Amino acid sequence: MLMPRISVARWIGGSALLFVLAGCLLPFVGPSRIDWGLVLQRQDPDWSILMDLRLSRTLLGLFAGGALALAGALFQSMLRDALATPYTLGVSTGASLGAVMAIALDWHTVAGVGGIWAGALCGAGVILFVVMGTATRHGQVSSSSLLLAGVAINSVCAALILLVHSFTGISQSFAISRWLIGGLDAVERPTLMLYAGVVACMSLLVVRQARQWNLLAVGEAWAATRGAHVRRALVRGYLAGSVLAAVTVALTGPIGFVGLVVPHLLRKRLGGDDRLLMPCAFLLGGVLLAGCDAIGRTILAPAEIPAGAITAFIGGPHLIWVVRRGGTR
Amino acid sequence: MLRLRNVGWRAPAGAEILRDVSLDVAPGEFVAVMGRNGAGKSTLLDIVAGLRGPSEGSATLDGRPLDEWPLRERARALAHLPQMLRADLSIRAEAIVLMGRYPHAARWFESQDDAEIAREAMARCGCLEFRQRSLSTLSGGERQRVYLAACLAQQARVLLLDEPATFLDVDQQLQCFGVVRAEADRGAACLAVTHDVNLALTFCTRLIVLADRGVARDVGVAEALDDPSWLRTFSSRLDLERGPSGSWVRYR
C-alpha cells in the first residue's frame, strides 16, 4: 500500500468540505449585515449584494487561491526548487506588464472585454513564447534552462513595469500602484464562469499527472528512465502552470504569497507526494485566499485591506514559525 | 542482448568524450565499468540507458535502437540508477520505491501487487524497516538503498547502476553487490560503475576499463586475475596479491 488511502481520502475530503463551506459561508461576511428576510424574498439591495458582489468575490477568491497554490506546488516539484512560485517563470510578470500598459494607455475596453484583462492576457501570451523560446536549446528543455529563462525575463518585465510607471500621470500612476498590490473584486458572472472553467480544466490536467511530477521532483534522468516523457512533461507543466497564473493575475493582480506558502505548509504536514499535496493545495489555497479577503473587508471596515496584504501578514510569520519549529517529517 | 557498435559521443560544446566503443552484454553478465574520473563511464551508462543518443554508431537492445523504444516499454526492460539524486525530498521511502512501478501501470494509485513487489525489493536492499520514513530524514547510505530498491522494483532485464555503492558502509557495499549479482544469476544483464576493484573482482563476471575515450580493457574476471596489467590504468600504486584463499588488490 503506497499511501494510506484512508488518510488520503480524509485529507482531500476534509479540504473539499472546507472549500464548499467557505463558498457557502464567506459571502455572509462583510462590512454590512445581510438581512435574511430580504435575501429569502430575493429583494434588493441585500440579495444583489450577496449574490452579485460577495458571492462572486468569494468564488473568485476560492479559485484564484487554488490556482496560485496549485501552480506553486507544480513549479516547486517540476523545477526542484523550494522557492519556486507561480510567478517564477515570468508569465505572470508579463501579465502584469500588459495590465500596467493597458492602464497607462487608458484602454478601457478592447474588443468588448476589459482593457486590463485583455492587456494582461496579451502580455502573458507574449512572454510565454519568449520564455519557451529562450529555454529551448537544440530542441531540448530542462528545468534549469526554464528556471533561468523565467527568472531573467521576469526581471526584464519588472524593469519595464517600473519604466512605464514612471512615465504615467498621477491618476494612472495611482491605479497602477493599486493594481500591482493585487486584490479581489467582484467580477461579472460570465467572466467568472469562464475563469472558473479554465482553472478547473487546467487544475485537473495538472493533478492527473501527479505521479509524473513526483518522478520529476527526484530528477530528470530518474523520470526519463522510469518511462516519463520529460520534455513533454516540462512543456505541459510550464504551459498549464502559466495559464493558471496568467488568467488569475489578469483578474486579481499579482497576489503574493499564496503560491509559495500554501504548498510549503502542506508539504511540512503531508509530505511531498503530489497526489495528496496538489489537491489539498488547490482546495486549501482557495480557502485561505477567500478567508483572508473576508478578513480584509471587515477588519477595518469601511476601509478594505487587499487580500494579498493579509495573506502575506498571516502567511509569512506562520511559515517562519513552522520552519523554526523544525517540522520536517 | 545489449549491443553497442562504434559508439561515439560528443558534448554539445564539441569535446569528444567517447570514441569507437563497441561491446555486447549478454543476460547473466555482471559487468563492472571502471576507469579514472572523467573517463566517460557515466556517459557510457547514459547512452545505454537511452538518456543520451550516441553522436556516432548505434546502441541497440534486442536489435532495436534504444531511441526507437517507446519510453515506458524501454523502462520496463531497462532500469537506471543515476549518480546524483535528490536528498531533500519529503516523500516516503516506500513511495520512492513504488516509482519503479510507474512504467508497468500509470494509474493514479499503485496496485496491491505493486506494493508487494516494492516491499520485496526493499527487504532485499535492507531498507524495509524505514519504508515509512521521509527520504529527507534518511542518511546518505540509507537513501542510496532506497533508490537501489526502486531500480529492483522496476523488474527490468537490464540493470544500469552508476556507482551504486556510494555512501554505503562496507557491509552494505557487499550486500548491494551481492543483490546485483543475484539479479545477474537470475538472468539480468547488469552494468555497474565502480571504483572499488576488490568489489568488482569479487562480485562481477567481467571488467570493462575505459581510458583515452575508449575501451582500454574488456576482460572476464578470471583473465583479469591472471594478468593484472589493467590495474596500471587506474594507478601505479595497485598490486594484485595472491593468497591461498583468493586474490585481492592491495595499495602500495
Q: Please give the full DSSP string across A115-129, using - where no structure is assigned.
A: HHHHHHHHHHHHHHH
Site of grid cell 550486500: B175
Q: Which pLDDT band holds residue A112 (cuts at 50, 70, 90)?
A: low
Partners of A9 on chain B (C-beta within 8 Å) are: none
- Give the closest residue to A78 by CA, choosing from A327, A249, A277: A277
Would residue B122 count as lying in a domain? no
Would residue B148 count as lying in a domain? no
Put residue B204 in one of left, alpha, beta given phi > 0 → left and psi -120 to 50 → alpha.
Answer: beta
- The reported pLDDT for the residue numbered A188 is 84
Whether the predicted pLDDT of B106 surpasses 80? no
Architecture of the CATH domain A5-325: Orthogonal Bundle (1.10)
Would residue B120 count as lying in a domain? no
Q: What is the pTM of this model?
A: 0.91
With contact defined as beta carbons under 8 Å apart, do A217 and A274 qualify?
yes
Q: Which chain A residue lies closest to B150 (C-alpha atoms)?
A: A226
Give how far A212 is from chain B: nearest CA, Å: 9
With contact defined as beta carbons under 8 Å apart, do B117 and B155 qualify?
yes
CA–CA separation, B8 vs B12, rounded Å? 13
Q: Which residues of A touch B (CB under 8 A)?
A: 1-3, 5, 80, 82, 137-138, 208, 210-211, 214-215, 217-219, 221-222, 224-229, 267-268, 271-273, 275, 328-329
Q: What are the sequence ranges of the domains in chain A?
A: 5-325
CATH number assigned to the domain comprising residue B23: 3.40.50.300
- The reported pLDDT for the residue numbered B31 is 96
Helices A230-252, A56-78: crossing angle, 10 deg rounding: 150
The one-letter amino acid at A203: S
Q: Which pLDDT band holds residue A59 (cuts at 50, 70, 90)?
A: very high
- The reported pLDDT for the residue numbered B1 is 87
Whether the predicted pLDDT of A65 surpasses 90? yes
Interface contact flag, B154 A214, Cβ < 8 Å: no
Range of the domain at B66: 2-83+157-251
Nearest to A226 among B88, B89, B99 (CB): B99
Whether the predicted pLDDT of A44 surpasses 80? no
Number of independent structural domains in chain B: 1
- Give the closest residue to A256 by CA, choosing from A314, A319, A308, A304: A308
Q: Respond yes or no on whether ipTM tops 0.85.
A: yes
Helices A210-218, A230-252: crossing angle, 10 deg rounding: 110
Give how far A214 is from chain B: nearest CA, Å: 8
**Rounded average pLDDT over A90-102:** 90
Q: Which chain A residue lies closest to B81 (C-alpha atoms)?
A: A222
CA–CA separation, B133 vs B97, rounded Å? 12
Give how far B82 is from chain A: nearest CA, Å: 7
Q: Which pLDDT band holds residue A2 (cuts at 50, 70, 90)?
A: very low
**Rounded average pLDDT over A133-151:** 85
Partners of B103 on chain A (C-beta within 8 Å) are: 226-227
Q: What is the mean pLDDT of chain A?
A: 87
Would residue B130 count as lying in a domain? no
Interface contact flag, B102 A228, Cβ < 8 Å: yes
**A280 pairs with which residues across the strands?**
none
What's the pLDDT tens digit per position in B5-42?
999 999 888 889 999 999 999 999 999 999 999 899 99
- The reported pLDDT for the residue numbered A326 is 63
Would residue B27 count as lying in a domain? yes
What's CA A40's distance to the chain center, in Å? 34
Would residue B25 count as lying in a domain? yes
What's the pLDDT tens digit per position in A273-295?
999 999 999 999 999 999 999 99
Angle at A248 between CA A242 and CA A250, to 5 degrees: 100
What's the pLDDT tens digit per position in B34-72?
999 989 999 999 999 999 999 999 999 999 999 999 999
**Rounded average pLDDT over B83-87:** 84
**Rounded average pLDDT over B181-207:** 94
- The reported pLDDT for the residue numbered A140 is 79
The one-letter amino acid at A109: T
- The reported pLDDT for the residue numbered B232 is 87
Give how far B110 is from chain A: nearest CA, Å: 7
